[in-house]
Amino acid sequence: MNAAHAHDAHHDEHPSGMTRWLFTTNHKDIGRLYIGFSIIMFLVGGILAMLIRTELLKPQLLFSPELYNQIITVHGLVMVFAAVMPATTGLANYLIPMMIGAPDMALPRLNNWGFWLLPPAAVLLVMPFILMLFGIGNGAIDTGWTMYAPLSVQGGLGVDFAIFAVYLMGASSLLSSINIIVTIFNMRAPGMTMMKMPIFVWSWLITAFLLIAVFPPLVAGVTMLLADRHFGTHFFNAAGGGDPVLWEHLFWFFGHPEVYILLLPTTGIMPHILSTFSRKPVYGYKAQVYSFWAIGVLSVVVWAHHMFTSGMPVAAQLYFMYATMAISIPVAILFFCWFATIWQGSMTFETPMLFALGYIVLFGVGGLTGLILSDAVADQQYHNSYFLVAHFHYALFGGPVMGIIAATYYYLPKITGRMYNETLGKWHFWQTLIGFNLTFIPQFFLGIAGMPRRIPDYALQFAHLNMLSSVGAYILGSAQLLLVYNLIQVMRGVGKKATTQVWEGAQGLEFTLPSPPPYHTFETQPVIQ
């Protein structure tokens, strides 16, 4: 630590232009790269979502079914791996060293590598679309983001591209997770014990452990898939002694914890925002930390609740059902702590606070509907229907995406030194809230009425609700342009200068630094009492 300190201390200048970003080992630069990348991919995934809703606007075929399957698959993969995960990783890179009073991440060069693996992965996901235009291959992966074998064994070259994208994204996630764990364990300022760490840091510590636990099985799975596709193995081919359900287990052993990998960092940012805008300390710090642990542990032992219709012994069905229900308790504790944090506060409603409150409501719906889905018998009706689609969008947009947007507005003045346009921010919130609910409430009813997911064309009784949902999606999609506009304005230096504390009630080491913070911070570590 001392060596790193001595090295960093003597210069504050840095290369400019491309090389600054390409070779940077500075946690703030890398954090910004992650967030910028994530916003670009959020727009790419968003455009794909708009295409999906346009196809479903009316019961007719606008695209060929192949193309539609490719669009839904790439939408899922881009949003999960290239939009939400990099956003939370970016926040971790930017914030964790400042929150724990460290000069930088523990492994800066590895940090750089971790980020620069991502753009090639995103290119691999999207490139088959472009190759198709030149007559090479038949487009992107079209198996759904779950890549179920043997459909994925059958697929075209898009599947191979996706497999290599998973390799790169997996490597990137593992590198950043290792870095975060090492940083948190070794670089905290003197006096900052584990139980004094900001909650966001705790949430990322659990997330990083989860990533290290569950990404390797997925990488093993896609490697077996690659071998089945090209080297004549039969891991997933029943005719050769393989087992298609094995893929489902490998995928969901990754896939379920992945939900919490997306979610936990934003549950960690919530208490910061709620406490700032209610001018009141965080309620139930210990309860929240223990809940993170409980969620982390439970999340790796409930995966097969995604497979209730795949056929399972009674004992397994009962186990996965009851284990899934258990997650509702620690999640409910988090909600309780959030409510208790704002209770009897002195609240104001700036944009980050609005998004944080919206998070509570929308993620609440996602959590509550998840509770019904845990019932192994009722799940027969919900599984793979639009009810499920609505549920996981409430859980993943209502949770992580709302949380990331809240965090973006909350830290934007700190990062850029400029206040964003509050009016536009509020418009963004209300339009997002209305658009989101208009998109996904009809989908609950579509699912209940019997509409399966991943179909480009549908029976006529689903027509009206689908049209409503598509109109909602256009409102939701266009709302995000307000965010982009607001960000561009701030980056161009429009807006009031932000103060050091930025928000009246903001606490934490990061709010003791000027806005924007200097390139190198905490070269001398602060001492925490």
Partner 1 sequence: MSARKVLALLSGLGLAALVAPDAAYARYPWEFPTPVTPVAKETLWVHNIFLTFISVVFVVVLSIMLYSLFFHRKSRGAMPATFTAPRTKLQFVLSAIPFLILAFVDYVVMGIPAYHAVLAMANTRADAQMVVKVTGMQWKWQYQYPGLHIKYYSSISTPQAQIHDQEPKNKNFLRQVNHPLVLPVNEKIRVILMSKDVIHSWWVPAFGVKEDSIPGFLRETWVKIDKPGVYRGQCAELCGVGHAFMPIVVDAVSDDQFKQWVAQEQSREQTVRAQQAAATAVTYTKAQLVTMGQKVFTANCAACHQANGMGIPGTFPPIASGQPFSAAPNMIAALRKRGFITPGGKIVEGPVVDHINIVLQGIAGTPMPAFSSSLSNEDIAAAVTFERNDFGNHTGDVIQPAEVQAARAATQKP
Q: How far apart, in whole angstroms, are the C-alpha atoms of residue 400 and residue 97?
A: 22
Residues 6+ apart with CB under 8 A from 128: 70, 137, 139, 140, 141, 157, 158, 161
Could you say whether residue 22 binds partner 1 (CB under 8 A)?
no
Q: How far apart, in whole angstroms, are the C-alpha atoms of residue 523 and residue 8?
A: 7
Q: How far apart, in whole angstroms, are the C-alpha atoms of residue 436 and residue 398?
A: 9
- Closest distance of CB 13 from partner 1, Å: 40
Q: How far apart, in whole angstroms, are the C-alpha atoms of residue 10 and residue 13?
A: 9
Chain centroid, CA 362 distance in Å: 15
DSSP annotation string for 275-322: HHHHTSPPS-HHHHHHHHHHHHHHHTT-GGGG-GGG---HHHHHHHHH
Could you say whether residue 380 binds partner 1 (CB under 8 A)?
yes
Closer residue to partner 1, CB minimum distance, 83 or 331: 331
Could you say whether residue 137 binds partner 1 (CB under 8 A)?
yes
- Of 19, 348, 500, 524, which one interacts with partner 1 (CB under 8 A)? 348
Q: Token pair of 329, please?
A: 């308790």
Closer residue to partner 1, CB minimum distance, 430 or 519: 430
Dihedrals phi, psi of 155, to nearest 5 degrees: -60, 175
Closer residue to partner 1, CB minimum distance, 180 or 365: 365
Could you say whether residue 190 binds partner 1 (CB under 8 A)?
no
Stretch that binds partner 1, among 90-98, 178-186, 402-410, 449-457 (CB under 8 A): 449-457
Residues 139-158 that bind partner 1 (CB under 8 A): 142-144, 148, 150-151, 154-157
User: Closest Cα to residue 336, out of 295, 358, 364?
Assistant: 364
Closer residue to partner 1, CB minimum distance, 110 or 245: 245
Q: How far apart, in whole angstroms, are the C-alpha atoms of residue 265 and residue 277?
A: 19
Closer residue to partner 1, CB minimum distance, 213 or 484: 484
Dihedrals phi, psi of 418, to nearest 5 degrees: -125, 145
User: Residue 463, exposed/middle/buried by CB under 10 A (0-12, 13-18, 19+)?
Assistant: middle
Angle subtended by helix axes 463-491 and 27-55, to nearest 10: 150
Residues 65-124 that bind partner 1 (CB under 8 A): 65-66, 69
- Of 213, 300, 448, 513, which one interacts with partner 1 (CB under 8 A)? 448
Stretch that binds partner 1, among 63-71, 210-218, 249-257, 298-306 (CB under 8 A): 63-71
Residues 6+ apart with CB under 8 A from 77: 125, 141, 145, 162, 165
Chain centroid, CA 413 distance in Å: 22
- Closest distance of CB 44 from partner 1, Å: 22
DSSP class of residue 492?
T
Residues 227-256 that bind partner 1 (CB under 8 A): 229-230, 232, 237-239, 242-245
Task: State whether residue 223 is helix, strand or coil.
Answer: helix
Could you say whether residue 422 binds partner 1 (CB under 8 A)?
no
- Closest distance of CB 203 from partner 1, Å: 18
Residues 266-295 that bind partner 1 (CB under 8 A): 278-287
Could you say whether residue 431 binds partner 1 (CB under 8 A)?
yes
* # of chain residues touching partner 1 (CB under 8 A): 113
Closer residue to partner 1, CB minimum distance, 333 or 498: 333
Stretch that binds partner 1, among 19-27, 118-126, 132-140, 391-399 (CB under 8 A): 132-140
- Closest distance of CB 329 from partner 1, Å: 6
- Of 90, 103, 456, 517, which one interacts with partner 1 (CB under 8 A)? 456
Site string for partner 1, 308-347 (x = CB under 8 A): -xxx--x--xx--xx--xx-xx--xx-xx--xx-xxxxxx
Q: Token pair of 279, please?
A: 């001018």
Stretch that binds partner 1, among 3-11, 187-195, 399-407, 474-482 (CB under 8 A): 474-482
Chain centroid, CA 339 distance in Å: 23
Q: Token pair of 163, please?
A: 């497999």
Could you say whether residue 529 binds partner 1 (CB under 8 A)?
no
